Amino acid sequence: MTRRKAKTDYHHGSLRRALIEAAVKVIAKRGIDALNLRELAARVGVTAGAPYHHFSSRKELLRGIAEEGFEAFEALLIAERDAAPPSASARLEALGRAYVSFAISHPGYFRVMFHGDAMASGPTGPGLRAFDLLRSAVVACQQAGAAPEGDPAPLVLTAWSAVHGLATLWVDGALPFEGMDPGRLAPEIGRMVASMFAALARDSGEA
């Protein structure tokens, strides 16, 4: 009786919202492999078939979570970039801080956003838009003489690997060592990347 009553409490997409919220909590604590639609239905108090009205499969649920996560991620990146001092290097640092901050605050979303079953989002999807923010910040550093000229791709990959690596190590529980707090290290990583790019520009005679 409890499940029947709970089922009638969901209207106008609120079940979809409840399923995503419950799924994100499961993933944050136990990982993506622990996600099961039948168990998820029990968690939110609906029949086993109810989730399929919103998500035809587990993969579709993951994609929904990823899309939502990337939209929030993009909004945070833009807000932190725009709040930073106007220099290209400062804006690149701000994106790095925001990247790690999002992973710390939303580990369930972060796990899904870069999972193979969830990443396809098309040429204008929120995942690619978020990536373009990083690329644009690196190109701005190049134009300002704060990064070496040439193909920005290796620089983008370096910056992305640094912040994503720190974020992933934390989310996966692989930072048990003293002094490895990601909240404290995120600004340092951002500064190190920006300083490295500036040093490379100086070595090549561009700054």
Give tens-digit pLDDT for 94-109.
Answer: 999 999 999 999 999 9
Task: Work out the percent of the chain whose per-residue pLDDT is above 90.
Answer: 57
Under 8 Å between Cβ of 39 and 82 = no
Judged against a pLDDT cut of 60, whether residue 187 lies above it is answered with: yes
Q: Which two tokens stand for residue 201?
A: 């520009």
**Residue 3, pLDDT above cutoff 60:** no
pLDDT at 192: 87
pLDDT digits (tens, 9 = 90+) for 17-55: 999 999 999 999 999 999 999 999 999 999 988 999 899
Task: Tell me the three state secondary structure of residue 140.
Answer: helix
How far CA 173 is from CA of 51, 80, 107, 117, 182, in Å, comes to 30, 26, 11, 22, 11
Report the range of poorest mean pLDDT among 9-13, 37-41, 134-138, 168-172.
9-13
Helices and strands per DSSP (H, E), number in the chain: 9, 0
CA distance 147 to 106: 31
Here the tokens at position 70 are 């990337």
Cα 130 to Cα 75: distance, rounded to the nearest angstrom: 9
Tokens matching residue 57 = 């499969």
Instruction: State how far the Cα of 128 lies from the Cα of 72, in Å rounded to an integer.
Output: 13
pLDDT of residue 61: 93
Does position 6 have pLDDT exceeding 60, yes or no?
no
Which residue, 92, 94, 99, is CA-closest to 152? 92
Task: State how far the alpha carbon of 44 is from the alpha carbons of 21, 23, 64, 168, 177, in Å.
Answer: 10, 10, 17, 29, 37
Query: Can you tell me the mean pLDDT for 181-204?
Result: 84
Region 54-58: mean pLDDT is 91
Alpha-carbon distance 105 to 121, whole Å? 23
pLDDT band for position 205 (50/70/90)?
A: low
Q: How far apart are CA 204 and CA 61, in angstroms?
A: 48
pLDDT in tens, 141-165: 999 999 999 999 999 999 999 999 9
